[in-house]
């Protein structure tokens, strides 16, 4: 699965993380613990296992996003679709070993009438959102990597939601 290349809002970002792909994949795929480390996620309700067809609903920003896993290929790729306020999203993460850690590339597209009407603003919102999410992922994955034997550390401590790595996230925005 890939994003909708013809969607009015598309964003892409990548980041290098000093943690193994299994650790990074676990953090992305364990949607039920996102609120402990992803600053913009307030709650998540997962229905079923992390597998294609399983659904989850999550609160971020002003609304609830209803998502369905489309592809789960641990620890290389995970993708889901979602919808909220008339926006249809496709979010795809690709992970690859890189320099003893993991390079994460995230691509996301938003389509639908709302995305067409507010394309310029939503492109900026989407780009900044995935860049912030990747920075949060880096902080938590590297925190867990530094604490061997604690794979469930994502559910502990406020430091997961307040730390900032200061690392650059490289991204590209679709031209307006």
Name all domains of the chain by residue range, CATH numbers in brackets: 9-151 (3.30.530.20)
pTM of the full predicted structure?
0.85
* Interval 39-75: pLDDT, tens: 999 999 999 999 999 999 999 988 899 999 999 999 9
pLDDT, one tens digit per residue, over 85-139 is: 999 999 999 999 999 999 999 999 999 999 999 999 999 999 999 999 999 999 9
Instruction: Please name the residues in contact with 27: beta carbons below 8 A apart, sequence gap of 6 or more.
Output: 33, 37, 137, 140, 141, 144, 154
Minimal CA–CA distance to 78: which of 54, 100, 99? 54
């Amino acid at each position: 699965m890939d994003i909708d290349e013809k969607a009015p809002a598309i964003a892409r970002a990548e980041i290098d993380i000093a943690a193994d792909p299994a650790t990074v994949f676990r953090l992305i795929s364990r949607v039920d613990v996102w609120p402990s480390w992803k600053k913009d996620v307030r709650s998540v309700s997962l229905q079923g296992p992390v597998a294609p067809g399983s659904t989850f609903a999550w609160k971020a920003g002003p609304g609830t996003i209803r998502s369905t896993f489309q592809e789960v290929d641990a620890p290389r790729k995970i993708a889901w679709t979602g919808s909220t306020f008339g926006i249809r999203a496709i979010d795809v993460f690709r992970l690859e070993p890189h320099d003893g850690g993991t390079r994460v590339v995230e691509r996301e597209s938003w389509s639908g009438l709302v995305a067409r009407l507010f394309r310029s603003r939503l492109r900026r919102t989407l780009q900044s959102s995935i860049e912030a999410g990747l920075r949060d992922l880096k902080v938590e994955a590297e925190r867990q990597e530094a604490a061997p034997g604690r794979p469930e550390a994502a559910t502990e401590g406020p430091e997961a939601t307040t730390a900032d790595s200061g690392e650059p996230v490289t991204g590209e925005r679709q031209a307006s």
